[in-house]
Amino acid sequence: MLGWFVRILFAIAAPITALFVARDALNFGLIQTIVTMLLVTALVGLVAAYTGRDRQAPR
């Protein structure tokens, strides 16, 4: 199951990485991994921000 999640994130990160680095460059895999880690960090941050908000707070 975790492999599916990582594969989906790599599939999302590949076109983003291709905007900055040619696909046949030697460091494409490294840059793609860095972009994937940034996506994971953003996803965790969004989940933390969403779950951290108080639903019963007065408006």
Distances (CA, A) of 43 to 12, 24, 33, 37: 13, 28, 15, 10
Distances (CA, A) of 11 to 17, 22, 44: 10, 16, 18
Q: Give the model's confidence band at 59: pLDDT under 50 very low, under 70 low, under 90 confident, else very high.
A: low
Q: What is the pTM of this model?
A: 0.80
The 3-state secondary structure of 25-58, one letter per residue? CCCHHHHHHHHHHHHHHHHHHHHHHHHHCCCCCC
pLDDT in tens, 12-31: 999 999 999 999 999 999 99
> Which SS3 state, helix, strand or coil, does residue 3 take?
helix
Who wins on pLDDT, 14 or 56? 14
pLDDT, residue 53, reads 74
